[in-house]
Amino acid sequence: MYIRQVALREDKRKDMKQSYLSSIPAIRKLKPLSLSKPVTFFVGENGSGKSTLLEGIAVASGFNAEGGSKNFTFSSRDTHSKLHEYLRIARGIPFAKDGFFLRAESFYNVASNVDEMEEEDEGIYDSYGGASLHAQSHGESFIALVQNRFWGNGLYILDEPEAALSPARQLALLSLIHGLVRRNSQFIIATHSPILMAYPQADIFVLDETGIVKTPYEQTEHYFITKRFLDQPQRMLKELLEDEKQ
């Protein structure tokens, strides 16, 4: 594990009380979080703090807040939180030889920065599938990035990668993740996808008002709701639509 534990710095807890971060239960109640599997998932409702925590870990680990490798230094808008200042990251040995922070909401900016680097140093595209990421569909560019730029022996932090991917492409991403895990890689992923969450060599941490709880796949709300819908879609639709009429 390139990151073995994530915790709040005790000397910073008082300072964090003055921040909006203290209003997020999962952040405020964060206890030392041990990462012992090659893949860690953060899941929870919108606003639960999973992307905020993921971003804090990424920035505290040396990545650009908007995404990219540690060599990316661009900034289009300073909107990230200061959570990284309050986190203590326990790193493993040896250190990761590669790494990337991928976030769906700022991927356009990452793609634009890759174009700028190609203009300055021809051949950069070779690490991103041989073409501008803007010249590919959103899903194609995500998959091309993982296939060509993620080299292994690395720490890869992904924020809702399923946003650009069809179910079939999510399965393809699972296969790519597994191949990289075999090449000594660690993934930390915030997701809503029950497909991605099914990866067997993973721990799932659910963020909610009680804090952060490690939860078996079949006990997550994502699994339960998706399975219930797929098992009885007409019944669920009838219940939902009848409620709407009322």
We find that the CATH architecture of domain 3-107+151-215 is 3-Layer(aba) Sandwich (3.40)
Among 11-20, 106-115, 228-237, the range scoring the smallest mean pLDDT is: 106-115
pTM attached to this predicted model: 0.88
Above 70 in pLDDT, residue 119? Answer: yes
Q: Quick one: pLDDT at residue 245?
A: 53
pLDDT higher at 73 or 55: 55
Per-residue confidence (pLDDT) for residue 72, from 0 to 100: 67
Residues 6+ apart with CB under 8 A from 232: none
The answer to whether 99 touches 154, Cβ cutoff 8 Å, is: yes
Average pLDDT value for residue range 212-218: 97
Count of alpha carbons within 13 angstroms of residue 145, beta-carbon side: 30
Average pLDDT over residues 6-19: 87
| Cβ contact 177:39 at 8 Å | yes
- Greater confidence (148 vs 231) lies with 231
